[in-house]
Chain A
Amino acid sequence: MGKLEDLDFKKNNLRKINNFLQNISYKNNRRNFIIKNPNGEHAVCAGLKEDISVNIKGHVGYYCGGMNQKANIIIDGNAGTGVGENMMSGSIHVKGNVSQSAGATAHGGTIIIDGNASSRCGISMKGVSIIVKGSVGHMSAFMAQSGTLLICGNAGDALGDSIYETVIFLAGKPKSLGVDCEEKKMTKKDLIKIEILLKEANIKKFKSYNFKKYGSARKLYNFKIDNLSEY
């Protein structure tokens, strides 16, 4: 493999660039990288596992930063389906909009989206913090199990459908709430948590008291004999 001084998709293919970033040793002194001309390529920066910073200059395709561990990824553009899917730790900051299923099944770390997220944002999320400065589409936080989804804009239809223990903080309005999702009482701890997230994403326009909290009504957790006819 040639020198990868600048990680440019005009000069190298996806396999080479990802392979290089995935195999950076913890002993390596160089920790900051720039990716040029991603041109909507899929799976850019998937499977990174070291504490490095990668700045992607342009729009990316599907599953950018998927399975990420420790790495900090900044995308100067939009991201396609499933940005940060199954992420374990580290952070992803998207400066544009993202497509559907952002942060799907992600276990940890933080995903910050400056624009809007499309449908199913945070679907089945398992512990990640997702901060969306714009709005989210329908079925967001569907079956979301753990972690926090903070939305400064509005939410589409069926927000938090069949949600487990993920907490949703929403400044705007949901078009509708999904099955078993309800508004919850905000606690002091919640307010502190929101302030921390707002600070992390450098959001100054909103304060913790602008948000409402949504979560599971926990009515789907147990089988009810009254619902037998539904099956």
Chain B
Amino acid sequence: MCGIVGLYLKNKKLHSKLGFFLSGMIDNMSSRGPDSAGFAIYNNLKSKNIYKYSLSFKNNASIKSFQKEATKNFKDLKFTNISDHTIVFSSLLPSKFIPYLRSNFKNISIVGYGKSIEIFKQVGNPKKVVKKFKLDKFYGSHGIGHTRMATESAITTEGSHPYSTGEDECLVHNGSLSNHNNLRRKLIKKGKIFNSLNDTEVAAGYISQKLSEKKSIKKSLTSCLNDLDGFYTFILGTNRGFAVLRDEIACKPAVIAENKDYVAVASEFQAMAHLPNVNKANIYEPEPGVIYKWGN
């Protein structure tokens, strides 16, 4: 089943409430996906040279040893710890820092990186997961969330959404893909690295590949319609906003509510019932095979 949610705040005054709204949305979607949950928050930093690396750890002891070890090698590192995740703030370029992390720390999974994005995901009931990460305190322009009912791969943090396979990109998915193994092999040949056997990670990798070939979001998503076999409603997040796509059969639900303050997307209306003035918003279903996009 799975539940997906996305919220883009047009009104800057609401940015301080992003986490609060998004946590309610994920909370309401826990009935669609009780196995695990995750979310991505987009929050641009004032300094344009700083990258944020979202790292997930197997246990707390390894967080401390990692921080000790990493500060020995690099001076310019700042850490924020939340539950089993650490966000590393640094001006180190991803091309330098990520290979270092991969080769030196086996207990770390790099859940995402970029100048805006922060990603958190964990196994467990979504209601508990959002509490552990204190999502309601987060600040930002837009966010994406997922509640998972596992079908295609094991219930692990690596198997949870959102999947980030490129700078400031992330993807959540409701559905299942049937040609992900073939596609994964093709993408590995092109140099993509995958951390799980999950179908969504392949879709995320596929879209990242297209975006890295300088294709627009619209073109990248349109090519999904030809190359991905299976059912899907996707929310694709970038540092500028997010996009929604449903496959042409459209069995996987989605509903959009839009007003002057925000755009909300969710699997079910329930997820957005707590948003301000939602009953008066323009509420509609995204049409199959059509790309919807919001952002600046």
- A138 is an interface residue with CB less than 8 A from chain B: yes
Partner of B268, one of A40, A100, A118, A137: A40
Q: How far is the CB of A65 from chain B (nearest CB, A)?
A: 16
- Tell me, in angstroms, the Cα distance from A118 to B249 when the chains sit together: 12
- A96 is an interface residue with CB less than 8 A from chain B: yes
A99 with B255: in contact, given A78-B269, A80-B268 (CB under 8 Å)?
Answer: yes
Q: How far is the CB of B281 from chain A (nearest CB, A)?
A: 10
CB contacts under 8 Å to A, within B238-296, are: 250-251, 253, 255, 268-274, 279, 283-285, 287-288
Partner of B287, one of A77, A78, A99, A137: A137
A40 with B283: in contact, given A99-B253, A119-B288, A138-B288 (CB under 8 Å)?
Answer: no
Partner of A77, one of B250, B268, B279: B279
The residue among A58, A59, A62, A99 with the most chain B CB atoms within 10 A of its own CB is A59
Partner of B270, one of A40, A99, A137, A138: A40
- A41 is an interface residue with CB less than 8 A from chain B: yes
Q: How far is the CB of B250 from chain A (nearest CB, A)?
A: 6
Main secondary structure of the interface of A (DSSP, over half): loop
- A81 is an interface residue with CB less than 8 A from chain B: yes
Is A97's CB under 8 angstroms from B285's CB? yes
Q: How far is the CB of A163 from chain B (nearest CB, A)?
A: 19
Which A residues touch B253, using CB under 8 A?
80-81, 99-100
- Tell me, in angstroms, the Cα distance from A138 to B274 when the chains sit together: 31
Is B269's CB under 8 angstroms from A40's CB? yes
- Tell me, in angstroms, the Cα distance from A119 to B246 when the chains sit together: 13
Contact with B along A126-149 (1 / 0, CB 8 A): 000000000001100000000000
Contact with B along A58-100 (1 / 0, CB 8 A): 1101100000000000000110110000000000000011011
Which B residues touch A99, using CB under 8 A?
253, 255, 285
- A13 is an interface residue with CB less than 8 A from chain B: no
- Tell me, in angstroms, the Cα distance from A78 to B273 when the chains sit together: 12
Is B283's CB under 8 angstroms from A96's CB? yes
Q: How far is the CB of A227 from chain B (nearest CB, A)?
A: 25
- A12 is an interface residue with CB less than 8 A from chain B: no
- Tell me, in angstroms, the Cα distance from A58 to B283 when the chains sit together: 12
5 more contacts with CB within 8 A, not counting A40-B269, A99-B285, are A40-B270, A40-B272, A41-B270, A97-B283, A137-B287
Chain B: residues with CB nearer than 8 A to chain A?
250-251, 253, 255, 268-274, 279, 283-285, 287-288
Instruction: Return 11 A-B CB contacts under 8 Å, by A number.
Output: A39-B269, A39-B270, A39-B273, A39-B274, A40-B269, A59-B283, A77-B279, A80-B269, A99-B253, A119-B288, A137-B288
